């Protein structure tokens, strides 16, 4: 897959949110780290899981809240025209939760999605995963 210069790559799982930008060319991409934004993920009202005495889903509630917070940040960036091309790479369950919160403006800037947890991988490994035919 060709990655245009300036494309932002968001790596997300239930606990980590990593941003990379292609500072290279489309043909020779080079992913460089961007500052990690502070996320407000204490709002659990929009998540699909509830914890109770019989259902100990606290970790799912936290992961969903984190995914929602990451998506809200990406939504704000898209609405503010701060991101014009985005690749979202997230753990499959996290990606599903994120999609529930995409705004139209964010959907318009997403050029590719990959349902895979790559948050622990280095930029060359991320590029290799994007080159694999899916």
Structural domains of the chain, count: 1
In the DSSP assignment, the letter for residue 67 is H
**Could you report the per-residue pLDDT of 81-120, keeping only the tens digit for each?**
999 999 999 999 999 999 999 999 999 999 999 999 999 9
Residue 125 lies in a domain: no
Range of the domain at 104: 1-15+84-114
Q: How many CB atoms are located within 10 Å of the residue 132 CB? A: 9
Domain assignment present for 1: yes
Cα gap 99→97, rounded to integer Å: 5
Residue at 100 is within a domain: yes
Does some domain include residue 134?
A: no
Put simply, whether the predicted model's pTM sits higher than 0.75 gets the answer: yes
* Other CB atoms within 10 A of residue 20 CB: 21
């Amino acid at each position: 897959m060709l990655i245009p210069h300036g494309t932002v790559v968001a790596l997300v799982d239930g606990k980590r949110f990593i941003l990379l930008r292609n500072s290279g060319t489309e043909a020779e991409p080079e992913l460089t780290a961007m500052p990690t934004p502070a996320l407000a993920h204490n709002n659990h009202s929009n998540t699909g899981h509830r914890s109770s005495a019989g259902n100990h889903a606290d970790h799912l509630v936290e992961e969903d809240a984190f995914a929602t917070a990451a998506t809200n940040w990406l939504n704000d960036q898209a609405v503010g025209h701060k991101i014009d091309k985005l690749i979202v790479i997230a753990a499959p369950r996290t990606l599903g939760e994120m999609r529930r919160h995409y705004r139209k403006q964010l959907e318009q800037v997403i050029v590719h999605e990959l349902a895979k947890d790559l948050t622990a991988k280095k930029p060359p490994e991320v590029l290799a995963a994007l080159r694999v035919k899916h």
